[in-house]
Structure 1
């Protein structure tokens, strides 16, 4: 047992092999941490991030806008009465973490569960996020692309009450699933499992018409494992078609309830991500 959790290899779904623990291979979670000024990254992550910055300097703006968006989204869910959260995706922000944002907005937050697909990020998150003052935090390892496997884990029993509203935080999830069908299936499964009045905050990286950026992505990221899949804004809208978004809808993340934190609407055209919050009636 580690911090009340079973070891990584005992938590994995039987039909999924985790990424190798190889610090020479960059991972988007650690790259994101570097881009927002965090400390939990390795040379490969820094080199990959710098390659992206060289190809598109606005990469830093997008990362900082995404971090600010996640804080605003968590606070908005808390304002709507959400008191339990499940975050699935490649973007676990260890610096200025979302569980802290939830606890600051709603001190009576009952639980916050993170899912990490990268063993190194998992270890960092457990070491830094579990057991601190604030909402009780659980960090489990597994493939966020297959949420039916995650939600069946014994480690989640008693952590989340699916008869009560849940705040789903899908940050770096849909855009890290290459197949449209698989991405929609994952979203549908999660939304079907949660109770009415649950909410799902998400953002999705959008395509940039730049061969240099695309080449940098292909060279620096292990695409066969990571599956980073930027889509056009129209494509993302089609991917989530049929779901109800709260105001202002699915928009550039800089334009979603701006509050002066992070890049604002004036940088919308330089921010390659859109986001919003779905509500289940």
Structure 2
């Protein structure tokens, strides 16, 4: 597979728009903040606009270390993908809420373990589609594709021709939901949406997810939630018990649902595992 040419700071490709007005042809609303672009700003990316940066800075007022937390969340994703590929033999991934591509992407990490891995990226932001085109080059052995879809409609997603042409749903799939469930309000039943996806996958499939939590600092995270609401964004932090429910019926991989910094760290255990306000976990379907 030809890999994304994204650099860690994600310099733009020559054929990508550089001004907000140029994104209008993709149907992008640059007048309101979007979670993917806010996250992009925290990770040092350049595909974000004044409303995104204003929202990011408002959240930083409540949580000054939010950029480090975003990087910790991203690092969890890398460790989880490597674990699924190396320890569970996962050779195909469904990456939901992928966001603006950030190297190393899921397919790059998985291919370090096993060339030939297939990945479907899913998001509902047109700006992500524009960037994801850099990921579309593949060889017969390896393949990635991008689907513009809504997590709230799992049946439509699972029947999408691009997904079924890329993934074999009779074989184990690594389902990734990294910092995306926070965008679904409780009244929209995120647990039911996740269950519909899990039920469609065969034995041997794995689920890796993270979501922000109020458990470590209720006051600061409450301020973040209010800032997001004031900016027209949905952001729902959840307790550990809420997170455990997403894995219902699957076997949690050790160490279970933990702070993302404490989930199988590459080095020594962190001195303060609660420094990043995210729960994370991985489970397998037996």
Hey, what does 2:136 align to over in structure 1? 130
Q: Counterpart of 2:110 in 1: which secondary structure?
A: helix
Question: How far apart are 1:95 and its partner, in Å?
Answer: 3.2
Give the alignment partner of residue 274 of structure 1, picking from 257, 275, 279.
279
1:231 to 2:238 alignment:
yes
User: How far apart, CA to CA, are the structure 1 residues paired with 2:245 and 2:176?
Assistant: 20
Q: Counterpart of 1:265 in 2: which secondary structure?
A: coil
Hey, what does 1:252 align to over in structure 2? 259
Question: How far apart are 1:40 and its partner, in Å?
Answer: 2.5
User: How far apart, CA to CA, are the structure 1 residues paired with 2:271 and 2:280?
Assistant: 16
Give the alignment partner of residue 67 of structure 2, picking from 39, 57, 60.
60
The runs of 5 or more residues in structure 1 that have no matched partner are: 1-18
Distance 1:117 1:252, change over 3 A: same
Question: How far apart are 1:122 and its partner, in Å?
Answer: 1.6
1:81 to 2:89 alignment:
yes
Per chain length, whose mean CA-contact separation is higher, i.e. which structure has more relative contact order (CA < 8 Å, sep 6+)?
Answer: 1
Tell me if structure 1 keeps the 8 A contact 2:95–2:121. Answer: yes
Distance 1:73 1:92, change over 3 A: farther
Distance 1:271 1:47, change over 3 A: same
User: How far apart, CA to CA, are the structure 2 residues paired with 1:50 and 1:90?
Assistant: 22
1:209 to 2:192 alignment:
no
Tell me if structure 1 keeps the 8 A contact 2:95–2:176. Answer: yes
1:141 to 2:152 alignment:
no
1:157 to 2:164 alignment:
yes
The runs of 5 or more residues in structure 2 that have no matched partner are: 1-25
TM-score computed with the length of structure 1 as normaliser:
0.83
Q: Counterpart of 2:166 in 1: which secondary structure?
A: coil
Question: How far apart are 1:92 and its partner, in Å?
Answer: 4.9
Hey, what does 1:4 align to over in structure 2? none
TM-score computed with the length of structure 2 as normaliser:
0.82
User: How far apart, CA to CA, are the structure 2 residues paired with 1:90 and 1:98?
Assistant: 9
Measured against aligned partners, the alpha-carbon deviations of 1:164-185 in whole angstroms (never above 9, x if no partner) come to 1111111123222112662111
Give the stretch that moved more between structures: 186-195 or 241-250.
241-250
Question: How far apart are 1:24 and its partner, in Å?
Answer: 1.7
User: How far apart, CA to CA, are the structure 1 residues paired with 2:187 and 2:278?
Assistant: 17
